[in-house]
Amino acid sequence: MIQKRLNKTARWMLFVLSALAVLSFAAPIFESILKVSATEVDIYGRFATPSLKHWLGTDELGRDVFVRLLYGGQISLIVGMVTALTAAVIGTVIGLVAGMGRGITDTILMRMTDGVIALPLLPLLIILAAVDLSKLGLSDQALSSEYISLIRIVLILALFGWTTVARLVRASTLSVLENTYITAAYALGVRRWRILLRHVLPNVTAPLIVATTLSIGNVILLESVLSFLGLGIQPPVPSWGNMLTNAQDLIWDNPALAVYPGLAIFITVIAFNMLGDALQDAFNPREYQN
Amino acid sequence: MTLYLFKRFIQALFVLLAMSFVCYILIGLMPGDPIDIMLAANPEATAEDAARLRAIYGLDQPLVTRYGHWLAAAMTGDFGYSRLFSQPVFDLIWPRLLNTFVLMVSALLLALLVALPAGIYAAYKKDSLSDRLINGFCFAGISIPSFWLALLLISFFAVTLMWLPAGGFALDDASLWVHIKFMILPVLTLAMTSVAAYTRYLRASMIESFQGDFIRTARAKGCSERRVILRHALRPALAPVVTVLSLDFGTLFGGALIVETIFARPGMGKLIFDAILGNDYNLAILSLLVVTIMILIGNLLADLSYSIIDPRVKIAEGKE
């Protein structure tokens, strides 16, 4: 039923995103076929113009821009989806507890949510991204892993990303609990956690899916800003954000290098946003008819 | 009303206290400390010198104790010196706060100036070609990375056309036009996301408002279309937009940080960024607190204006 209602734009966006995912994860294949490298520095081949070998030319260190874009795509897609899912889980738990608990639990959790929303997000993300993990007692071995900056960015973005979902789930929970079938279930002696799992949770999934889809775009934007500022994904691992770090200095001589990564972010984020919007229409027939 | 403001005030104090504590600890967990940076500049310093310096600055004590000292001094209005600028942090912040304030308010006004007519028009001509164009523009606006937009604007208006400066700040004695020239690209960049977001919200709530019975009544009694739109439909539609606006100040400041960093404008955003990366505790914490206060005041103003737009909403005396 949902597929039927998904409009043409949404299908296009799904297609664009799938194509992006396939291309990104095929990066090693492109690397071996084109005989180029995303990380190997080639001082003599800097700023090469697009050719059959280097489809989008090379950057200031002679690395192939096209393949780097694909690897950056892996990072953006993974960070975006994993973070959005993690945040959704945190938000769902907090929202359910607040909605089911009511009273003082609800008040405390929602005041906390309001507090987090009111904070200046970006400066806090910058501080968290700059924290020295070895001072937190992480072993050198864990720190030298190339996934560490990936895991860190997912965690800090999820830490602040749960608020929308929490409010949404709480609101849905409260409205679901108003229904007579909940009263009936209580009267029949059904346990609270069972009511939660069988009646409340299925009823909040639709808004949850929409909110999560819409938040992926936001997460990708935040990741790219942090990487752009030099605090997110650390070079030499390419990400769309850190590919733009040097672009500002190069803009006078080589503006093309500043265009591709930004365009990639833009297309991905707009696709997720339009998909989320279309899902909202599909799940909400009343608004769809408007 | 007084009680309401008092409650908000207490809440704000609580947020600020929690914020200062968390930030102090987090900055303490950043790589190196101020002494490392001092030592790096002086090759003759020995390990004993380092230890002595750490003791002088109190850096040998645990973080929580240091936070306690900072808080005690802050209570008396002493926020300490900035290590990067060698000035009392309080003096550093005010001129920059003004710059950021001007930047944010200009962007906000520009955003409203565009979003109000665009949102009303799109809702009124729902599903027309212009509505779709506006909608497409909005999707683009909320999806474009602002730092990339800034780079594109620089490369077009500053590098190719050479009409506007690529960044920096006009001297104090420069003419108003020069000041404005330095403002155009930063304000455009900052306003873009807000324009898109406000237009979308306004359009959605205007469409809902147009379906109300009171609109049919207004038309039936012979109101002009202009009056129907501006007096009857717009007013109830504004309330949800104000909510969005009040939740948006934090995002707007984040945008200001990016814009100031890229366009090299001396403001709070750039100050915070430099202070955090330069391990300048006193400066970073006071700037963060000032920005948080600014956001909290913005939220409060938006909440208060809510009850002006929609008189049915009363700021409750006893309970919220």
23-52 in B: which are within 8 Å (CB) of A? 23, 26-27, 29-32
What pLDDT was estimated at residue A144? Answer: 67
Q: Which pLDDT belongs to residue A216? A: 94
Q: Is B228 contained in some domain?
A: yes
Q: What is the pLDDT of residue A174?
A: 87
Q: Which residues of A touch B29 (CB under 8 A)?
A: 131-132, 135-136
Q: How much is the pTM? A: 0.87
Residues 132-151 of B with CB under 8 A from A: 139-140, 142-148, 151
Q: Which residue of B has its CA nearest to A249?
A: B151
Span B69-124, pLDDT tens digits: 888 888 887 777 887 788 888 888 888 899 899 999 999 999 999 999 999 999 88
Q: Which pLDDT score, from 0 to 100, does residue A289 have?
A: 42
Kindly list the structural domains of chain A, giving each domain's residue range(s) and its CATH number in brackets, ordered by start. 2-289 (1.10.3720.10)
Answer whether residue B117 is part of any domain. yes
Answer yes or no: is B99 within a domain: yes
Q: How sure is the predictor about A286, in pLDDT bands with cuts at 50, 70 and 90?
A: low
What is the reported pLDDT for B260?
A: 92
Mind listing the pLDDT tens digit for each residue in B209-268?
A: 888 888 888 888 888 888 888 888 888 888 878 877 777 788 888 899 999 998 888 889
- The whole-number pLDDT of residue A190 equals 85
Whether the predicted pLDDT of A55 surpasses 80: no
Total tally of structural domains belonging to chain B: 1
Q: Please, what is the average pLDDT of chain B?
A: 83
Q: Would residue B144 count as lying in a domain? A: yes
Residue B27 lies in a domain: no
Contact residues, chain B, for A260 at CB < 8 Å: none
Residue B78 is assigned to a structural domain of this protein: no
The answer to whether residue A1 scores a pLDDT higher than 70 is: no
Asked if residue A175 has pLDDT above 80, the reply is: yes
pLDDT digits (tens, 9 = 90+) for A79-106: 999 999 999 999 999 999 998 887 888 8
Instruction: Name every chain B residue with its beta carbon within 8 A of the beta carbon of A258.
Output: 148, 151-152, 155
Give contacts of B144 with chain A, Cβ < 8 Å.
266, 269
**CATH no. for residue B236?**
1.10.3720.10
What range does the domain containing B101 cover? 95-266
pLDDT at A34 over 90: no
- Mind listing the pLDDT tens digit for each residue in B2-43? 787 888 788 888 888 888 888 888 887 877 676 777 777 777
Contact yes or no for B145 and A119 at CB 8 A: no
Please state, rounded to an integer, the average pLDDT across all residues of chain A: 83
Percent of chain A surpassing pLDDT 70: 91
ipTM of the prediction? 0.84
Give me the pLDDT at residue B113, please.
94
Task: State pLDDT tens for residues A11-27.
Answer: 888 899 999 999 988 87
B37 assigned to some structural domain: no
Instruction: State the pLDDT confidence band at B313, using cuts at 50, 70 and 90.
Output: low
The yes-or-no verdict on residue B147 having pLDDT over 70 is yes
pLDDT number for residue B320 = 39
- pLDDT (average), residues B284-309: 82
With an 8 Å Cβ cutoff, is B94 touching chain A? no
Question: Does residue B313 lie within any of the structural domains?
Answer: no
Cβ distance A120 to B254 less than 8 Å, yes or no, reads yes
Q: Which residues contact B190 (CB under 8 A, 6 or more apart)?
A: B103, B104, B107, B146, B252, B255, B256, B259
